[in-house]
Structure 1
Amino acid sequence: MPVRPLQVLRHDSAKYLRRRKSNLHIVFVHTPMSTFKVDQRREFWQNFDVRYHATHPGLQHMENVLWELPHWMTWLGGVLQHTGFESMEPLDFYSSETQITGIDVAKVRASLARHPGDIYLFSPMTPNLFFALEIADLIKEMYPHAKTIFGGVVATPQRQKLAAHPSVDYVVFERAEYALPALLETIEAGGDVTALGNMCFRMDDGEIFTSSWEYPSIPVEELPFPKVDLFPSSAGKDIRYIRQVYALGCPYKCSFCTIQTIGQKPSYFPVERVISEIRAYRKHYGEHHNIYFGDETFTTHAERTLKICQALEDEGNVMYDCQTRLNLLQDDRVLRALHRSGCRWLEIGLETADQESQDLFKQRVKIGSTRDALARVRDFGIPVCSFMVNGFPNQTIDDMRRSLDWVCGLISDGLLQASYLFGLVPYPGSELYEEPEKSGLRLRHHDFRYYHEDMLPVFDTEHATAEQTYQVFLDGVAQLGQAMSCRPYFGADTIQGSRAAFGAFWESSHV
């Protein structure tokens, strides 16, 4: 099928945002994550959690650990509701304990029996793709006429393999705001799915069909309002924060990242829309909730950052967390505005103290400026948490250990409130997975159950075996856990409740 001209695409796709009534019942499936116990994580997560709570007065411990609302569900729920699909519900398996060997078939079957549907939507990540497929198998057994549709961060790069699975009816790749309503309408009408964009599926003869064209992205200002009430208000007791988005897109492209908007100029939601969403989510799930901005680089555009900060300051009762990069914290106006508007946790991807690794796998971050940059952020009253990654392919064992000593020193010197530490995972969709040899990786296997940031690495390098890299990781988790046991720079006197209550979610670590 020839690629359609852009103006025809826009004309065709626009009709899918017209309202119409559908009788389909749609079930959003929140796939479980495996739990994997790492003994060294107990002290690590307990001390990390204490430091996080210290900077968020009023934060409540979760009851059933949903952690956060799956943003893709409320987002697409809003799109589907806007286009006439009124009957929908979430099906949560995430808050259940799941062993790496597979789902609890009896429990999942019983849950599915309580949630019959015509359409089951999945958006798993790499390590829980296996569980999503197991659930899809049960759905096809129990409801053979129901359709299973996969999309998202792992489904897009793995679309042809997924489409070949007997329990997967359709894979929607890349953005789904046009494609998913079009697919559902076509399914309901018994139409020709091959006429649609962004589709990959197994045809009756067993051949895999992949659309030769894609719908354009909807301008963010035209996206329908999310379906905030997709989950019952009681779910507010089970989440740590409310995820929010100000901008889609990150101009940087790190080789270990799988976010499908990396390398793209950010597109910003209207500030009024962002504030309206925050109000709606908090009204439904609890006014006490702080916000977590999911933008990969919240401070990319200084003037836009100042604009959203002013709106949050005017709102007056919002505390929030956000992410950015070390090289995007040079403007004192931005730092001042972040603090005044309620930023109480700023996450920065430091990843490694090795400049060569930064140059190879990240962009435009100069480690030599780290201490000065963190001191400036601290002096503006903003706690900083870093992301550290163990096991870059160019690193020796000594290089890895030096990075761990470095970040522990930043914590001890009051320059970091806390730090994550994860093992490097070459997820599908990243450059590290697609071209491992180019980066110096030798992948051991493609069993995605074990593509897990707390497990033995799935690769060797010329400098270290997976076993050697993993031992450095385990030692680093223990080392960081000890480093975070000292008195934090921020919130030292605000800890309340039994220390045993902190870090409980991570006792059997979820990805």
Structure 2
Amino acid sequence: MNKILLFNPKSANAKYRIPNSIMNIAASVEGRYDWVIVDGNCEADPVQKIMGYVDTGEYKYLGFSVMPGPQLKQAIAAASAVKHKYPHVKMIWGGYFPSNQPESVLYSHLVDFIINGPGDNAFPNLIDALENNKPYEFIKNLIYQGTDGRIVKTVKEDLIDQDSLPPLPYDKLNTMYPIPRFLGKTYLGEKTLAYHSSIGCPFTCSFCAVVPIYEARWKGKSAQNIYKDVKYIKDKWGATAIEFHDNNFFVSEKRAVEFAKLIEPENMTWWGMARIDTMSKFKDSSLEAIRRGGCKIIFFGAESGNDSILEQMDKGGTQTGKQILEFAGRLKKFDIIPEYSFVLGTPAPTPEKVMAQIDFEIDFIKKVKAINPKTEIIIYTYSPVPTEGSEMYKQVLESGFKFPQTLEDWISPAWENFDLRKNPLTPWLTAEMIDKIRDFEVVLNGVFPTETDIRLNSLKRAAIKAISTFRYKINFHKYPYEIKLLQRMWKYRQPEIQGF
């Protein structure tokens, strides 16, 4: 009667990936407790599936992995259904959303405990404590509501040596959901595997939800163990490509190069995330080895070409606008596509200053494209993240911005779009500013359709480019209805929302 149900809420409409976060938790209790996984991406009615398990009376613990946005809606629906029928079932949430919004989560009375960061030790230790009626106050990485009603946060655990962790239970997952179902067709390849090779990031960007969780710490698996896992899935289930979902895959030049050399004979293509100021220090020989090893595209948080805004964001490191431009040109030589994300609409003292910042970024993005036209540009509108203590967080609060207070408020239609950084509710942005950002994005994507949209053939690319180029050249981005129509007709894929 002490089985564990692990739930991965739906995160995308048509993109299935191995639920790595939940799989890590499953690995942590493997051999100690019986467990099952319910994947919301693979179920027509995941709540019904969950209730089918819980109705047996055998499942005493439910663990949910919850990111902001789409996952939250399904997580709340499932938690509500279970708690109203079986209040004694222990509900445990992990992931960025509950760790960053513990009050909303715990005061909903749907969730009993939050795993605040990695749960490899915290989750099994908590289950052991609850099973044996032992104290849990000294278990690290926990957040819960104390007897006096206040939120209690236990101390953070040092990051675990990733090579010491048990292997992910791929074979057991395969009995519930066939692994090939998670190997989707993408720009990278016919059967793309999602994999986590590290946790955390050694930087403190004030707009990033990772910072409060990992506190500028990073730990990665060895290149040999990454290769062993990837090759196992390639040989057993036919994976042809890899998406590394690490927050920062390229922290270590040595590790990245070693992995590239190990994977090169396997003829797999891959993608990962990096920082420009980190990779700009890589030797040419390292970049050559990484490309030979199959790396096709790398995501970089460029954020802004304005050095003062980079400082405002507490970007850390040594990144500058000049470096962003130079590195785009450098990667061109190695045939690696840089995927640059920019955050427009950061707070400023006056509306005129905000608009001037937006105009600057639009001009800067055009400079990037002039240097390396293959650079993928992803545009976000700034969405405040509750990184308490940062200068930007103070500016956000002083502007009158407020975060939702209840769990239900977080899944309102406006906030769901807000979490995708598409529909900001910030006091310093006007409708005119939002229109300027969105219209430029439409024209930019018309002139330079993303290479990662595998459904957009050469004829469609040529057509949309032809009707967009004149607007782009004369800086006339307003009312791009004809481009929007084509994008809607052809279901143009936006990587910032849909991935590859």
Task: Tell me which interval the TM-score lies in, with the shorter structure as reference length.
Answer: 0.7 to 0.9
Question: Which has the higher mean CA deviation after the structures are superposed, 352-361 or 188-197?
Answer: 188-197
Question: Which has the higher mean CA deviation after the structures are superposed, 326-335 or 295-304?
Answer: 295-304
The change in CA–CA distance for 1:88 and 1:430 in structure 2 (over 3 A counts) is farther
Alignment correspondent of 2:269: 319
Alignment correspondent of 2:303: 351
Q: Which of 47, 52, 55 matches 1:114?
A: 52
Which secondary structure does the structure 2 equivalent of 1:118 belong to? strand
Question: Counterpart amino acid of 1:255?
Answer: S
The change in CA–CA distance for 1:404 and 1:282 in structure 2 (over 3 A counts) is farther
Alignment correspondent of 2:29: 80
Task: Kindly state the Cα deviation for residue 109 of structure 1 after the two structures are TM-superposed.
Answer: 4.2
Alignment check: 8 A CA contact 2:24 2:120 kept: no
Alignment correspondent of 2:328: 374
Q: Distance in 1 between matches of 2:320 and 2:120?
A: 38
Question: Counterpart amino acid of 2:160?
Answer: I
Consecutive unaligned residues in structure 2, runs of 5 or more: 187-191, 462-486
Q: Distance in 1 between matches of 2:355 and 2:43?
A: 37
Q: Distance in 2 between matches of 1:185 and 1:495?
A: 55
Deviations 1:357-397 (A, max 9, x none): 11221122111133332122111111121111121113521
Is 1:287 equivalent to 2:239 in the alignment? yes
Alignment correspondent of 1:10: none
Q: Which of 418, 421, 436 matches 2:379?
A: 421
Identical-residue share of aligned pairs (%): 16
Task: Kindly state the Cα deviation for residue 343 of structure 1 after the two structures are TM-superposed.
Answer: 0.4
Question: Counterpart amino acid of 1:224?
Answer: P
Paired residue total: 441
Q: Distance in 2 between matches of 1:237 and 1:269?
A: 22
The change in CA–CA distance for 1:191 and 1:312 in structure 2 (over 3 A counts) is same
The change in CA–CA distance for 1:505 and 1:187 in structure 2 (over 3 A counts) is farther
Consecutive unaligned residues in structure 1, runs of 5 or more: 1-22, 36-63, 98-106
Task: Kindly state the Cα deviation for residue 491 of structure 1 after the two structures are TM-superposed.
Answer: 12
Alignment check: 8 A CA contact 1:149 1:172 kept: yes
Q: Distance in 1 between matches of 2:333 and 2:15?
A: 34
Is 1:275 equivalent to 2:217 in the alignment? no
The change in CA–CA distance for 1:471 and 1:504 in structure 2 (over 3 A counts) is closer
Alignment check: 8 A CA contact 1:65 1:95 kept: no
Deviations 1:22-48 (A, max 9, x none): x63322222235x9xxxxxxxxxxxxx
Is 1:252 equivalent to 2:203 in the alignment? yes
Alignment correspondent of 2:445: 481
Alignment check: 8 A CA contact 2:387 2:393 kept: no
Q: Which of 267, 284, 297 matches 1:332?
A: 284
Q: Distance in 2 between matches of 1:509 and 1:248?
A: 22
Task: Kindly state the Cα deviation for residue 441 of structure 1 after the two structures are TM-superposed.
Answer: 4.5
Task: Kindly state the Cα deviation for residue 296 of structure 1 after the two structures are TM-superposed.
Answer: 3.2
Question: Counterpart amino acid of 2:357?
Answer: D
Question: Counterpart amino acid of 1:232?
Answer: P
Which secondary structure does the structure 1 equivalent of 2:36 belong to? strand
Q: Which of 201, 204, 215 matches 2:144?
A: 201
Q: Distance in 2 between matches of 1:441 and 1:510?
A: 31
Which secondary structure does the structure 1 equivalent of 2:268 belong to? coil
Question: Counterpart amino acid of 1:278?
Answer: V
Which secondary structure does the structure 2 equivalent of 1:459 belong to? coil
Deviations 1:188-243 (A, max 9, x none): 2333333533333345x562462544444322221111222424224235575323
Question: Which has the higher mean CA deviation after the structures are superposed, 303-312 or 193-202?
Answer: 193-202
Task: Kindly state the Cα deviation for residue 160 of structure 1 after the two structures are TM-superposed.
Answer: 4.0
Q: Which of 354, 377, 395 matches 1:396?
A: 354
Alignment correspondent of 2:254: 303
Counterparts of 1:33-72 in structure 2, within 5 Å, are 33=11, 65-72=14-21
Alignment check: 8 A CA contact 1:28 1:120 kept: yes
Q: Distance in 2 between matches of 1:265 and 1:445?
A: 27
Alignment correspondent of 1:190: 133
Which secondary structure does the structure 1 equivalent of 2:201 belong to? coil
Q: Which of 78, 81, 91 matches 1:148?
A: 91
Q: Which of 168, 175, 183 matches 2:111?
A: 168
Q: Which of 448, 459, 470 matches 2:426?
A: 459
The change in CA–CA distance for 1:491 and 1:119 in structure 2 (over 3 A counts) is closer
How does the TM-score come out when normalised to structure 2? 0.77
Alignment check: 8 A CA contact 1:200 1:208 kept: no
The change in CA–CA distance for 1:370 and 1:113 in structure 2 (over 3 A counts) is closer
Question: Counterpart amino acid of 2:257?
Answer: L
Q: Distance in 2 between matches of 1:455 and 1:417?
A: 21
Which secondary structure does the structure 1 equivalent of 2:395 belong to? helix
Question: Counterpart amino acid of 1:181?
Answer: P
